[in-house]
Amino acid sequence: MWNSEPTHRQHHQHNGNSTSGGPPAKQLGMTSAISLAEPRPEDLQRTDELRGSLEPYNVFESQDELNHRMEILAKLNTLVKQWVKEISVSKNMPESAAEKLGGKIYTFGSYRLGVHHKGADIDALCVAPRNIERTDYFQSFFEVLKKQPEVTECRSVEEAFVPVIKMNFDGIEIDLLFARLSLKEIPDDFDLRDDNLLRNLDHRSVRSLNGCRVTDEILALVPNIENFRLALRTIKLWAKKHGIYSNSLGYFGGV
């Protein structure tokens, strides 16, 4: 679909010095793990206590709120596909060919990592095939968005270092970037981590792709995503409470 929920990848690691004849442990990062021991019962209890201590700070959304975000992203994904088709037909492409072009919404940042808090915005990326120009996005698609009854405060920031359309979509703030790939079609299962995608792209598209590529790489490398999420939520809350959470000021923020 639109890449809104990370794929859960669990890697069960064993001691690399084992003589059992099994494959050596996969090393993640520059150094080996401090310990490969499984958590003890008291460790699991403390993890539950940590999760409970975060509850009062609104760092978790309810299932209804999560579903609402999914619905918004589904609507945006449908709008993108329809827009790509209509623009392509207007450029004299046969409708049968325009139907196959695709186009897709990807998410990145805290929402894609699964660590966003209540009311947080969504960072997203609109990916279009090669026949769609950047001017099409910031003109015709911008107009499409403004006409949607759920959209308010829609504004285009085309001259930014990373050009973006900002909007409020049914109560959720969304920053929507744009990337035009050198591909004829964008299938629904397309993976943005392929380095070959960056060939012959304009610098604005490369910068727009960076957020998704970095986020997906993190999720592919983290051995236990649920543990990672809880740790990251805790660190973010700690940094905000200490007034050191803002990458624009040189502190922690994002990745």
Q: Which residues are catalytic?
A: 110, 121, 123, 175, 236, 245
Tokens of 127: 């990916």
Q: Please choose, from the candidates 211, 120, 114, the residue with its C-alpha nearest in 3D space to the C-alpha of residue 173.
A: 120
Q: Please choose, from the candidates 68, 192, 83, 61, the residue with its C-alpha nearest in 3D space to the C-alpha of residue 142.
A: 83
The enclosing H or E element of 133 equals none
* Neighbour-count burial of 113, counting CB atoms closer than 10 A to its CB (0-12 exposed, 13-18 middle, 19+ buried): buried
CB 80 within 8 A of CB 126: yes
Q: How far is CA 44 from CA 39, 40, 73, 94, in A?
A: 7, 7, 34, 59
CB 89 within 8 A of CB 98: yes
Q: How far is CA 74 from CA 15, 109, 115, 246, in A?
A: 43, 18, 20, 30
At which residue do the structure tokens 């945006």 appear? 76
